Structure 1
Amino acid sequence: MSASPPTPVPPTDRLLARTILILALGVGGSLRVWLALTDDGIYWPDEVFQSLEPAHRLVFGYGMQAWEFIEGARNWALPALVAALFKLSAGVGLDGPRGYLGLTRGVFGLLGAVSAWGSWRLARAHGASALAAAAGASLFALAAVPLYFAPRAMSENASAPAVVLGLALALAPGASRRAVVAGASLLGLAVLLRLQNGIFCVGLVGVLAARRDWRSAREALAVLAAWAFFFGLLDRLTWGRWFHSALVYLDFNLVQGKAAAWGTAPFAYYGRVLMRAMGTVTLVTLGLSLLAARRAPGLLGVAAAFFVLHALQPHKELRFLVPVLPLFAALAGVGLDAVLRHLPPSPARLALPLAVVGVAGFSGLRTGQLTFGDLGQYENVKPRASAWDDFGPVNRLLIAAGRLPDVCGLKVEAAHLAWTGGYSYFHRDVPLYAHNGPRRESGLFSHVLTLSGAVANGEVVASEGPFVLVRLPHGGCAPDPAWSSRLP
Structure 2
Amino acid sequence: AGGPAPLLALTVGLRTLNCFLVQTSFVPDEYWQSLEVAHRMVFKYPWRNNYGYLTWEWANGLRGYSYPLIFASIYKALQLLAKDDVQLLIWVPRLAQAVLAAFADVKLYLLVRHLENAETAKCVYFCQLCSWFTWYSCTRTLTNTMETLLTIFALSYYPIKGSKMGSSCKYLALIALAIVIRPTAVIPWIPLVFSHFLQEKRKADLILHNCIPVGLVTVGTSLIIDRVFFGEWVLVQLNFLKFNVLQNLGTFYGSHPWHWYFTQGLPVILGTHLPFFIHGCVLAPKRYRIFLMAVIWTVLVY
- When normalised by structure 1's length, the TM-score is 0.53
Offset of residue 234 of structure 1: 4.1
Provide the C-alpha distance between the structure 2 equivalents of 1:43 and 1:166, rounded to a whole number of angstroms: 26
Letter in 2 for 1:84: S
Of 305, 308, 316 in structure 1, the residue corresponding to residue 300 of structure 2 is: 308
SS in 1 for 2:122: helix
Provide the C-alpha distance between the structure 2 equivalents of 1:214 and 1:288, rounded to a whole number of angstroms: 33
Deviations 1:25-72 (A, max 9, x none): 666644432343355432111111111111000111131111112221
Pairing 1:42–2:25 present: yes
* Cross-structure match for 1:18: 2
Provide the C-alpha distance between the structure 2 equivalents of 1:68 and 1:45, rounded to a whole number of angstroms: 13
Provide the C-alpha distance between the structure 2 equivalents of 1:102 and 1:188, rounded to a whole number of angstroms: 28
SS in 2 for 1:74: coil
Of 239, 245, 263 in structure 2, the residue corresponding to residue 254 of structure 1 is: 245
CA separation of 1:288 and 1:92: change in aligned 2, threshold 3 A: farther
Higher Cα radius of gyration: 1
CA separation of 1:19 and 1:183: change in aligned 2, threshold 3 A: closer
Letter in 1 for 2:71: V
Report the structure, 1 or 2, having the larger strand content.
Answer: 1
* Cross-structure match for 2:47: none
* Cross-structure match for 2:154: 166
Pairing 1:85–2:74 present: yes
Which segment is superposed worse, 272-281 or 25-34?
A: 25-34
Pairing 1:59–2:59 present: no
1:121 and 1:165 in contact (8 A); partners too = no
CA separation of 1:175 and 1:275: change in aligned 2, threshold 3 A: closer
Pairing 1:123–2:115 present: no
Question: Aligned runs of 1:87-102 on 2, under 5 Å?
Answer: 87-102=76-91
Pairing 1:68–2:60 present: no
**Structure 1 vs Structure 2: percent identity of aligned residues?**
21
Letter in 2 for 1:259: G
Query: CA RMSD for the aligned pairs?
Result: 2.9
SS in 1 for 2:258: coil
Offset of residue 185 of structure 1: 1.3
Offset of residue 277 of structure 1: 5.3
* Cross-structure match for 1:384: none
Provide the C-alpha distance between the structure 2 equivalents of 1:187 and 1:206, rounded to a whole number of angstroms: 13
SS in 2 for 1:73: coil
Of 254, 261, 264 in structure 2, the residue corresponding to residue 270 of structure 1 is: 261
Deviations 1:361-383 (A, max 9, x none): xxxxxxxxxxxxxxxxxxxxxxx
CA separation of 1:300 and 1:278: change in aligned 2, threshold 3 A: closer
Which segment is superposed worse, 162-171 or 90-99?
A: 90-99
2:226 and 2:234 in contact (8 A); partners too = yes
Provide the C-alpha distance between the structure 1 equivalents of 2:124 and 2:21, rounded to a whole number of angstroms: 28
Of 215, 224, 229 in structure 2, the residue corresponding to residue 225 of structure 1 is: 215
1:59 and 1:87 in contact (8 A); partners too = yes
Question: Aligned runs of 1:33-432 on 2, under 5 Å?
Answer: 33-61=16-44, 62-125=51-114, 127-172=115-160, 173-175=163-165, 179-214=167-202, 217-218=206-207, 219-226=209-216, 227-239=218-230, 240-241=232-233, 243=235, 245-271=236-262, 272-276=264-268, 278-310=270-302
SS in 2 for 1:230: helix
Provide the C-alpha distance between the structure 2 equivalents of 1:55 and 1:47, rounded to a whole number of angstroms: 12
Provide the C-alpha distance between the structure 2 equivalents of 1:115 and 1:73, rounded to a whole number of angstroms: 27
Offset of residue 228 of structure 1: 3.3
CA separation of 1:275 and 1:303: change in aligned 2, threshold 3 A: closer
Provide the C-alpha distance between the structure 2 equivalents of 1:229 and 1:275, rounded to a whole number of angstroms: 39
Provide the C-alpha distance between the structure 1 equivalents of 2:80 and 2:130, rounded to a whole number of angstroms: 33
Offset of residue 201 of structure 1: 4.6
Report the structure, 1 or 2, having the larger helix content.
Answer: 2
Show structure 1 runs of 5+ residues with no match. Answer: 1-16, 311-488
Deviations 1:103-123 (A, max 9, x none): 101111222222222322333
- When normalised by structure 2's length, the TM-score is 0.83
Which segment is superposed worse, 150-159 or 262-271?
A: 262-271
Letter in 1 for 2:164: G
Provide the C-alpha distance between the structure 2 equivalents of 1:151 and 1:266, rounded to a whole number of angstroms: 29
